[in-house]
Structure 1
Amino acid sequence: MRTVAMGLACLAISASAAFSAEAEEDAPAKPAVPNIYLDLRTTYATIPAGTLGLGFGNTSVSAALGALAVRRGAAPSNGLPAAKSIAVDLPLTVDVNDRVSLYGGVSGSTTDIGGGWSTFDVTSWNIGVQADLYRQNGGSIPTITLQSTLTQSVPNDQGMTNSFNNILEFDYALDEDETRGGLAGVQYTTTTIASPFASIRPNTILYAGGYYQWPSNWKFTGRLGMQSFGGAQLAGRTLAESFTQPILRLDLDRMDDNDNRLFGITAQIAWMPKPSYQVTLRTPLYAVRN
């Protein structure tokens, strides 16, 4: 009997090991390395007179315009002139896992404030992190995501700006595959200027919206909110007036089966109080894509 028992025990252990090995074979293989890519973004923006390039995630544009205004001594009695800007952002992005991404890179821009386009130069660098603080995973509490970005204009001289941009977003998915749902969030941006005579007050956006992803992996996202800017001053005069006005952002993205972005286009209208228009093309360049 003891021999039979030992034989059954050995058989059970062998079967357990076999099932365990089979389960490991059936389980999807974990990627050996994270996603690594240049999240190339090209933005064209029109900025009305008397304001900066504000809006969703526009720290590189506003930093460049703020520094340009101080360096050129934009006429404080008349405020900032109307401008057009083309900016290219090149953050190297690493998706550490499906919850955390790290990024850092440089931005270049050219600006037309009425006398023709300036030379295209590197105008800022940035570092940041995006992390899901909580995942819904079919529950009743929405996914909570925090994104923080530090942007500094270059060169490091009179008029240099530092911007710290924080976005806290709540994403409530309406289905198990998370292809449709609602959004709500807040963006808060603070900017400092390396000049004792100039200051830029904080900018806050409160918004709500939603998204829908088709079986073809095209995804549409809309956000509508209110933007409140405290204004900017130079030598005691007003560079940019304070305002509280609506803002609208629409995104159309092409995703792959693993929710990696392949292409995206964003259209934004922000009233400041005159409308400012912005179009961004997002074309990630993958070194590694899982």
Structure 2
Amino acid sequence: MSQDLVSPELARPGRARRPTPFSWTRHRLLVALALACALPAPASLAEERPRPAAPGPEATASEAEPSATGPVIYIDASATMARSPGNSFVIGRRGFFSITGSSSKSLSIDAPLTIDITDDLSLYAGFDFASSKTASTPWSQLALGSFTTGFDYTFLDQAGFLPELSVSGSVSRPVRIPAGSALTTTWSGGIDADFSFDEAGHRGLIAGLALTYVTVNFGLGQLQPLYGGYVGAYHQWESGWKLTGKAGYASFGGGSLGTVIRATPARQVFAVVEFEKYDAADNKMFGVGLAGALSRSTTGKTSTSIQLVLSVPLYLTRKH
């Protein structure tokens, strides 16, 4: 303690120190200052706390549109235009095959209601409409064709050198039966593998196997199973454009259905190229696919077929 705060008498050794009136005054001033500092300032004198900055337009939009936690629901609309030489099969959008009878040109519109319950499981069901033209008949009126229901399920995620594996299946039955035909049920199933080279899944290799089997519920006829497989690759750019290419082989055992389809066994090689556009949230906006096939029957006849597919999903709910 400094000497100016202590009386010279009290500073002598052997006596207790007492504060002088002057020191008491100084102590009172120090205590008052300490209390003044410790007590909160009046509301009128308190400094206003800085308010958080108002969110910008992007932040407001992101808060107003949170990421979708429920299923994604949409109508997976598509139109397929095909030219088939007959006694062959058309490649379906979901990797399956449709058996054709006589040589014809066809237009089909497919619009199943699709629900992506999770990123791994999708269910769909809906009708398709079809019109066709042969060498001897004009284009038929676009009419209700069949009702189809199916699913896609990814049951194994990619891990190390093991690719992502998914299984799919569908059941289809015609709504109306053409004259001279039979009531049938078409069962289709497949398994697909996807090996991605990057974490975002923008580049990779794909492969798959598919089976189509037709059972006759009413009427005469029997069709052998149709087996197919493919290998391919895909690349998606940052702009959202995706290019997919496939090449494959299929085998059909032949058969007949009433008087409409009489097919001999055939083998087919095919190739598919598809362009798709996705938005920033990975919702598909539209797709264009082109497929060509070369078929050869057991009688030695070789024929070609081609098809064009346009698809535009109509979303009821989507990912954000």
Length-normalised TM-score, structure 2: 0.71
CA gap 1:52/1:244 in 2 versus in 1, 3 angstroms: closer
Q: Which residue of 2 aligns with 1:38?
A: 75
Q: Which residue of 1 aligns with 2:169?
A: 148
Alignment of 1:99 with 2:120, yes or no, is yes
Q: Which has the larger radius of gyration?
A: 2
The structure in which a higher percent of residues are helix is 1
Q: Which residue of 2 aligns with 1:13?
A: none
Q: Which residue of 2 aligns with 1:231?
A: 254
Q: Which residue of 1 aligns with 2:270?
A: 247
SS of the residue 1:272 aligns to: strand
Q: Which residue of 1 aligns with 2:235?
A: 212
Question: Partner amino acid for 1:129?
Answer: F
Q: Which residue of 2 aligns with 1:48?
A: 85
SS of the residue 1:39 aligns to: strand
Q: Which residue of 1 aligns with 2:311?
A: 282
CA gap 1:59/1:263 in 2 versus in 1, 3 angstroms: closer
Alpha-carbon distance in 2 for matches of 1:225, 1:190: 19
Question: Partner amino acid for 1:128?
Answer: G
Q: Which residue of 2 aligns with 1:77?
A: none
Q: Which moved more, 1:160-169 or 1:236-245?
A: 236-245
1:116 to 138, 145, 155: 138
RMSD: 2.6
Q: How does 1:196-211 map to 2 (within 5 A)?
A: 196-211=219-234
Query: 1:208-258, CA deviations, whole angstroms, 9 ceiling, x for partnerless residues?
Result: 111000111100111101111111225699811212221111111001223
Q: Following TM superposition, where does structure 1 have runs of at least 4 consecutive aligned residues deviating by more than 6 angstroms?
A: 58-61, 235-238
Length-normalised TM-score, structure 1: 0.78
Q: Which residue of 2 aligns with 1:184?
A: 207
CA gap 1:105/1:124 in 2 versus in 1, 3 angstroms: same
Instruction: For residue 127 of structure 1, report the CA deviation from its aligned partner.
Output: 0.5
Q: Which moved more, 1:85-94 or 1:197-206?
A: 197-206
Q: Which residue of 1 aligns with 2:36?
A: none
Instruction: For residue 198 of structure 1, report the CA deviation from its aligned partner.
Output: 1.5
1:85 to 82, 92, 106: 106
Alpha-carbon distance in 2 for matches of 1:176, 1:54: 34
Alpha-carbon distance in 2 for matches of 1:53, 1:93: 25
Percent sequence identity over matched residues? 28
CA gap 1:229/1:38 in 2 versus in 1, 3 angstroms: same
**Matched pairs, number:** 247
SS of the residue 1:129 aligns to: strand
CA gap 1:147/1:59 in 2 versus in 1, 3 angstroms: closer
CA gap 1:127/1:236 in 2 versus in 1, 3 angstroms: closer
Alpha-carbon distance in 2 for matches of 1:237, 1:95: 37
Instruction: For residue 142 of structure 1, report the CA deviation from its aligned partner.
Output: 0.6
Alignment of 1:173 with 2:196, yes or no, is yes
Alpha-carbon distance in 2 for matches of 1:61, 1:145: 18
Instruction: For residue 53 of structure 1, report the CA deviation from its aligned partner.
Output: 3.8
